[in-house]
Amino acid sequence: MFGALLRFFREQTGLSQEALGLKLGFSKSQVAMVERGQRPPRGNFIALADEVLGAQGALIAAGGKLTYSHLASWFGPFAEEEVTASARHEYETHVVPGLLQTETYARTVLSGGYPPVDDEVIEGRVQARLARQSLLTRKNPAAISFVLELSALARPIGGRRTHKEQLRRILDVAQLRHVQVQVMPQGRENHSGLSGSFVLLESKERRQLAYLEVQDHSFLVSEQPALGNLFGKYGTLRAQALSPEESTEQIEKMAAE
């Protein structure tokens, strides 16, 4: 809404994004990203824009209410549900889940995206990801489980030191009494999750929800029969994976190697 208001006043004065940027001391792309809601206004942007555009305090008033999240817009609805969930279960195929990532591992993953973004955005996304991990340690714990493909654990993202640190982090989380981590053995010839990763949630009211994501596109599943099929599929995956104890031994072996 702040971006729409900024665009309205800019167009009323007949200025282009580039012209406004020159008057404010910001680039055209920065003005464009603020108008699209993709970046918060930095520094004295709001006060200068209000003066240059003759907004008579409207932009300053709107800016006082402005909040900004570094979470991707398509992830926001799921994140809102996740923070109060009573249960969360995840099957992952190619990367350690965000809830288990160390800071260094997360920064490596988020730095490799396309199109490239600046360091400030990456750092914001890293901190947002780490903040979500409070679900693991909140006062009223959720029931949490993971089924991880061995290939997701074997890839040395960030290098050997980061990889070992990440494996030790998973082992530490697996010791929490409300968390279970299971590994899908590489030698299993077939299982029910070959169509891809997914996350399951149960709200505090026991309402069920599923989340699927691929290449920066996602959707929530809340209707039957698709929802029930995913919960059934996850139950089968847990039965096909190594036990939590066997999984711990597997991860410990990888960390030692």
Mean pLDDT for 82-93 is 96
Nearest to 183 by CA among 98, 242, 95, 101: 242
Nearest to 43 by CA among 22, 56, 24, 65: 24
Nearest to 193 by CA among 217, 212, 208, 171: 212
Q: What is the pLDDT of residues 181-228, one digit of tens each?
A: 999 998 899 999 999 999 999 998 999 999 999 888 889 999 999 999
Q: Which domains does the chain have, with CATH numbers?
A: 2-63 (1.10.260.40), 76-256 (3.30.870)
Q: What does pTM read for this prediction?
A: 0.76
Q: What are phi and psi of 12, to 5 degrees?
A: -65, -30
**Beta-bridge mates of residue 160:** none
CA distances (Å), 200 to each of 65, 89, 140, 197, in order?
33, 5, 19, 10
Least confident among 62-66, 115-119, 180-184, 235-239: 62-66
Q: What is the pLDDT of residues 178-192, one digit of tens each?
A: 999 999 998 899 999
**Confidence bin at 72 (pLDDT 50/70/90):** confident
